[in-house]
Amino acid sequence: MMEDRIQVNGIWYVRETPEVSYVEEQYEVSDSLQCVYENSEWCFEASILLKRDASELTDTEGTPWIKITEKSRMVDNKTFEDEVDSEAWMLGVYDRNPESLKEANRIFDRDGLRYFTSFIGKLIEKGWLKR
């Protein structure tokens, strides 16, 4: 069959179809929810895992993690980004705990801290953070 052959630089080759194989290993995939706040200066993206047997979108587990992006600050020619996953720290920022605010003041300017604190309040309302 000529259609199974191909000529390259005067040499004929038989066309091969690579066999695709899939890994048959068992692995678990987790589903998550996301909550995002964004303005011209800041973006906060919170994610939280759904329970494996979740039947409602409120069936979450664990602590959310938040990706923080300050759009105007550049670090190594990239937009400044940080991630937090400490519920104690997030609630500490919300409650104006001096220890938590030390780190928060390193990350945020005054407006950023105000927006972030409001965002934490929304996560508390959603039940993603427990007081």
Q: What is the pLDDT of residues 34-83, one digit of tens each?
A: 999 999 999 999 999 999 888 888 889 999 999 999 988 776 777 888 99
Q: For position 33, what pLDDT does the model report?
A: 94
Give the residue, 6 or 59, on which the prediction is more confident.
59
Lowest mean pLDDT among 21-25, 64-68, 86-90, 93-97: 21-25
Give the residue, 92 or 12, on which the prediction is more confident.
92
Max intra-chain CA distance, the chain: 79
Evaluate whether 88 touches 8 at the Cβ level (below 8 Å): no
Q: pLDDT at residue 1 above 60?
A: no
Q: For position 54, what pLDDT does the model report?
A: 85
Distance CA 49, CA 113 (A): 25
How does residue 2 score in pLDDT terms, banded at 50, 70 and 90? Answer: low
> 64-93: string of b/e by CB count within 10 Å (b at 16+)?
bbbebbbeeeeeeeeeeeeebeebebbbbb
Q: pLDDT at residue 127 above 70?
A: yes
Q: pLDDT at residue 98 above 90?
A: yes
Evaluate whether 129 touches 90 at the Cβ level (below 8 Å): yes
The pLDDT of 9-21, averaged and rounded, is 81
